[in-house]
Structure 1
Amino acid sequence: MAGASDGALAVVNWSTHPAEKDYEVNLLRNREPSAHTVEKIGGTSISNTAAVLENVLIGGRKGSALYNRIFVVSAYSGMTDRLLEHKKTGKPGAYARFAGARSRSGLVEAIAEVHREMRRINAEVFGRSPERRVADDFVRDRIEGVCGCLLDLQRLCSYGHFRLEEHLNTVREVLAAQGEAHSSHNTALLLRTLGVEAIFVDMTGWRDEAEISLDERIETALSAIDLGKQLPIITGYSRCPGGLVQFYGRGYTEFTFARIAVLTGAKEAIIHKEYHLSTADPKIVGIERVRTIGHTNYDVADQLSNLEVEAIHPAAAKELRHANIPLRFKNTFEPGDEGTVITRDYVSDTPQAEIITGLRGVYALEFFEQDMVGVNGYDLEILKKLKGYDVRVVTKASNANTITYYLAAAPDVIAPVVQGLEEGFPTADIIAKRVSIVSAIGSDLNLQRLTATAVQALTAACIEILGVHQLMRNVDIIFIVDESRFDDAVRALHRALIEDSRLPLAAQPSSGVER
């Protein structure tokens, strides 16, 4: 598996090791169980090459200490935004411009912008070294291939018998894959220049014709690698039937990472990001006030995902939870900190709030129908209507004749939702109002007077409480407040439930929950 003498990078592609029909799922059958970790490097972290090399990939490791690790790499920060569309603002990237404008010149320019950015990153990573040419040749081959493919598709669909809409999901998958291919190839190439036996594992399905499952692709790619002597650097995107982006959105890298950990029986899954998993967002509360959570469970992780906190995709968490694999969050820029470990069965020794977070700009959709009382299935009929719109129910509350849904949705979606419900339920009164959700979350909130303390803290801060939701499982308490009071509510609850608690402060993190 050593690199070629001309500087070309050793590559493992599943197609060079076709799966046998009776292939057994046991990638590490010749090794001791649970001898390795599977680690994911986030986009912002991998963009800081020097820090990742020093703090994650190499650091003070030598010899065998460099190995028994599998790395799954995200695209460089902002690259997937350029390839698809901006995750938060929706600014069109290459995909959005291709699907929308559908002009030849627009597509060529969009792809050219991506190519220029990739080459700029290559120059930043490799400088004037010979490896820069290898990196540039790699992205040129990918970008020219993608551009040619899309132009051919565009031309084909100019005839009436072919519909471009039928191929857009595939186009999205192909474009997304190029970000992870770029960053993973660069990372493996750079490591090899430093004497590490790194292997670029390309699972994007580039130019292969077979259609195999994600598990088969992982199995065939890793079966040829000796983890004790080689360091696999794997693309965060993997081609599979139906498409990872289609199934998991922008969380596809995390699902790939989790599935690799499960299939290889990792002793621990680790996510390296540019922030700690902290008790609140330090941009709101202040860096001097937050602390690293340290230890929690997958139930808490689910609550964070529901509030769109960028910890881990719920499907990825589910994979790790079912396999009973611990998940560790580490701050790339503080390698000495052990970070936060998430396990299946952890419960804090003392009942306490572990994190204060929430969701801004949620729509409270209040559905009042006097005749609802005593009628079974009313909620189901409303949900059927909501399913036809691009909305997500974050939480809900109800009484005899009123159901309030708290919806995460774009502003331009809500008016059609209300109109559709009014047409389906002409006797109902339906109103929508923007609010914020603020939540105290912990593995054990079964603490006397915790709810009362939280209510007093919000009242003392002159914050009107529009609603309170608390389940008997004692994992979270949700407060509905005015949209403009989100930051104030987070600060008030963090001060009352975490800062003023009698528990000693942990090491101060450099950053916190990212929104």
Structure 2
Amino acid sequence: MIKHSVEKIGGTSMSRYDDVLKNIWQRPQVPHGGTEKTLYQRAFVVSAYAGMTNGLLEHKKTGEPGVYALFSEMDENRPWQQKLYEVQAAMLAMNEEMFEGQDIVRRRADQFISSRIEDVKQCLEHLENVCTFGHFQLDDHLHRVREMLSALGEAHSAYNSVQLLKLNDINARFIDLTNWRSDSQQTLEDHISDAFADVDFTQEMPIVTGYTQCREGLMKTYDRGYSEMTFSKVATVTGAGEAIIHKEYHLSTADPEMVGAENVHPIGLTNYDVADQLANLGMEAIHPRAAAGLRKRNILLRVKNTFEPEHRGTEIRSDYSSKTPKVEIIAGTRSVWAMELFDQDMVGDPSYGQKMNDLVFESGVRVLTKDFNANTVTFYLKGNKRRINWLMDRLQANYTNADIRVEKMAMVSAIGSDMKVPGLLKSAASALSDAGVNILSVHQAMRQVDMMFIVADQDYAAAVKALHTDLIENNSDWEAVQSA
């Protein structure tokens, strides 16, 4: 049976729209279960162009405030308005570049996004006025503001993509899941099901907004992983045969910029366990909750490099395990906050940590891992300093006898579908020691799909390089080239 594929294109790739057009959209493929190539039998979920969501919300890496962050401060000078105009200028500049020489199409694209930005401006101004009354608190509405702003970036890129494809004689269809100016609200599944009810995959190419407005509120659970949840749900609801993520790089044994492009291998095959560990570090091939849907429906997930269309990419399967136990990927993250709570009163008290866990969840920071012994609990967290400080204050207020400290560190992980290698921990520890890296903490679960090392933040690059050299580059089980 011939089935369509659902494919997601990341923001960095979307910004290189000419490459996407040539390498993906205009490149015929053999659909799942078919024998002949076609441009169709594919739906594309698109992210906002690079930098747009940073401007609308906040910079993902530096924390520089965007429209949302500035609006949430309720500054009477309304700095969010200027930021919104800056984002609009960037979007219009993208339109001008994309549709050079196509004045009618460019004006249409300009009108589309300018109209939505004006809608947002008026909505935020009205909300500010409403929240001057004591019966209305801004905090009650901020998550909706965040959702509305996120919708702008994906709507802009999806609409533009449809116009670009039509200029190139491809029958593209704009699937707008942002629910803009609608008086009804559906569940995520119902919204997608209705949007695709009359889509003919054999004759049209759906271009879908990465953001979906729904009753559940995607950003409350997934924050900026919402586009991957849309991607996964579109695949499961429409019965796709394959799910493909197009990124600007291969899923490789390490970051080539850190260990050298000549030293890394593309990963040909791996499993969802490995994808989950990468997601935990913020380097997701796919959000773990999004992957769960594909996994349950047994939909093959493939990660491909946008700029190397001939390469088959990385297949992520439920049932894969490497034939020879080994480390497949060295990955990690800097700026990990280690928050340690020491309290003699916790000894023998099984309920001691309940409030602690609730506060960590309430703070909005992400827990990478945690460890504990008789009188100490340490959380390893990702989040901005403001949230970390909020959490420290709340913990100290609730655990008045505890000593609490926080320190910025880094986490480096060795990850693989099967790492049951005798002496692996000893080899990894020796490699780090030989590189002059002091190990502050080690974590390894019995399933042996990852091994985490907590090191000083300044030792991060050296730790990644040392582990990759010892566990992958010097491992005879790795072939010169890995392919699916």
Structure-1-length-normalised TM-score: 0.87
- 1:48 maps to a residue whose letter is R
Q: Does 1:476 align with 2:444?
A: no
AA matched with 2:314: T
8 Å CA contact retained: 2:3, 2:241: yes
**Partner of residue 48, structure 2:** 75
Matched to 1:83, the amino acid is L
**Counterpart contact for 2:275–2:284, Cα < 8 Å:** no
Aligned to 2:300: 326
Partner of 2:423: 449
Alignment of 1:339-350 (within 5 A): 339-350=313-324
Amino acid at match of 2:62: T
Give yes or no for contact 1:102–1:154 (8 Å, CA) kept in 2. no
CA distance in structure 2 between the partners assigned to 1:329 and 1:72 by the alignment: 14
Q: Which moved more, 1:307-316 or 1:184-193?
A: 307-316
* Alignment check: 8 A CA contact 1:470 1:477 kept: yes
- Equivalent position to 1:244, from 200, 208, 218: 218
State the partner residue of 1:184.
158
The structure-2 alpha-carbon separation of the partners of 1:426 and 1:94, relative to structure 1 and needing over 3 Å to count, comes to closer
Instruction: Name the SS of the counterpart of 2:142 in structure 1.
Output: helix
8 Å CA contact 1:366–1:402 kept in 2: the answer is yes
Q: Distance in 2 between matches of 1:61 and 1:192?
A: 19
Q: For residue 96 of structure 1, what is the aligned residue in structure 2?
A: 69
Counterpart of 2:201 in 1: which secondary structure?
coil
Counterpart residue type for residue 44 of structure 1:
T
Among 45, 49, 64, the alignment partner of 2:17 is: 49
Task: Assess if the C-alpha contact under 8 Å between 1:142 and 1:178 holds in 2.
Answer: yes
What's the counterpart of residue 169 of structure 1? 143
Partner of 1:398: 372
Aligned to 2:39: 66
d(CA) in 2 for partners of 1:172 and 1:429? 36
User: Aligned runs of 1:351-366 on 2, under 5 Å?
Assistant: 351-366=325-340
Higher mean Cα deviation, 412-421 or 198-207? 412-421
- Name the amino acid aligned to 2:82: E
- Residue 202 of structure 1 aligns with an amino acid whose one-letter code is D
Task: Map 1:2-401; keep pairs closer than 5 Å.
Answer: 32=1, 35-59=3-27, 65-103=38-76, 106-129=79-102, 130-370=104-344, 372-401=346-375
- Distance in 1 between the 2:139 and 2:47 partners? 28
From the superposition, tell whether residues 146 and 505 of structure 1 become closer, same or farther in structure 2 (CA, over 3 Å).
same
- Give the CA deviation at 1:506: 4.6
Distance 2:288 2:315 in 1: 16
Give 2:61's aligned amino acid: K
Aligned partners of 1:406 and 1:111: how far apart in 2?
A: 35
Structure 1 residues 154, 445: closer, same or farther in 2, change over 3 A? same
Would you say the 8 A contact 1:299–1:443 is kept in 2? yes
Kindly provide the amino acid, as one letter, of the partner of residue 17 in structure 2.
T
Contact kept, 8 Å, 1:64 with 1:228, in 2: the verdict is: no
CA distance in 1, matches of 2:62, 2:213: 27
Q: Aligned residues: percent identity?
A: 48
- Whose RCO is larger (CA < 8 A, sep 6+)? 1
CA separation in 1, counterparts of 2:470 and 2:391? 38
2:33 paired residue number: none
Count residues in correspondence: 477
Matched, 1:493 2:451: no
Secondary structure (helix, strand or coil) at the match of 2:244 reads strand
- Opposite residue 49 of structure 1, the aligned amino acid is Y
Return closer, same or farther for 1:106/1:449 CA change in 2, 3 Å cut-off.
closer
Q: Kindly tell me: are residues 441 and 415 of structure 1, through their superposed partners in 2, closer, same or farther at Cα, counting changes over 3 Å? A: same
Q: Which shifted more, 59-68 or 276-285?
A: 59-68
Indicate if the aligned counterparts of 1:37 and 1:69 stay in contact, CA closer than 8 A: yes
CA distance in 1, matches of 2:159, 2:167: 13
Instruction: Give the secondary structure class of the aligned counterpart of 1:378.
Output: coil
How many Å apart are 1:60 and its aligned residue?
Answer: 5.5
In the alignment, the residues of structure 2 paired with residue 354 and residue 79 of structure 1 have an alpha-carbon distance, to the nearest angstrom, of 33
Q: Deviations over 1:83-128 (max 9, x none)?
A: 2222222222222233324547644433322221111101111102
| TM-fit CA distance, 1:411 | 3.3
CA distance in structure 2 between the aligned counterparts of 1:495 and 1:380, rounded to whole angstroms: 42
Unaligned runs of 5+ in 1: 1-31, 510-515
Name the Cα RMSD after superposition: 2.3
Amino acid at match of 1:357: A
Stretches (4+) displaced over 6 A? 61-64
Contact 1:270–1:330 (CA under 8 A) maintained in structure 2: yes
Work out whether residues 64 and 229 of structure 1, in 8 Å CA contact, stay in contact via their aligned partners in 2.
no
Q: Alpha-carbon deviation of 1:159?
A: 4.7
CA distance in 2 between partners of 1:431 and 1:65 (Å): 59
Does structure 2 conserve the Cα–Cα contact (< 8 Å) formed by 1:292 and 1:506? Answer: no
In the aligned structure 2, how far is the partner of 1:354 from the partner of 1:60? 32
